[in-house]
């Protein structure tokens, strides 16, 4: 129950944050908004861009074993 309440408050905060950004860029065109959203996403979640190092090593090891 507490976890759902925490997630709900987190979602509300994120929604209000993005709503403030959206109202700030009302006059901006779609390309500007897309660039801003992409930059914001990459700064907030940079760890989503890459797989963890363990997975990279594991997949490389399997690929190497299949060759030899």
pTM of the entire predicted model: 0.31
SS3 of 50, please? Answer: coil
Which ranges of the chain does DSSP label H, i.e. alpha helix? 2-24, 30-44, 53-67
DSSP label of 25:
T
Query: What is the domain extent for residue 44?
Result: 2-67
- Give 46-67 pLDDT, tens digit per residue: 665 566 666 666 665 555 565 6
Among 45, 46, 41, 35, residue whose Cα is nearest residue 18:
41
Confidence of residue 32 (pLDDT cuts 50, 70, 90): confident
Place of tokens 């759902």: 4
Split into its structural domains, the chain has a count of: 1
Q: Average pLDDT for residues 21-49, to the nearest whole number?
A: 73
């Amino acid at each position: 129950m507490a976890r759902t309440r925490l997630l709900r408050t987190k979602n509300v905060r994120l929604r209000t944050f993005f709503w403030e950004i959206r109202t700030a860029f009302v006059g901006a065109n779609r390309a500007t908004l897309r660039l801003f959203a992409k930059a914001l996403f990459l700064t907030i979640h940079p760890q989503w861009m890459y797989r963890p190092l363990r997975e990279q090593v594991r997949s490389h090891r399997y690929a190497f074993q299949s060759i030899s």
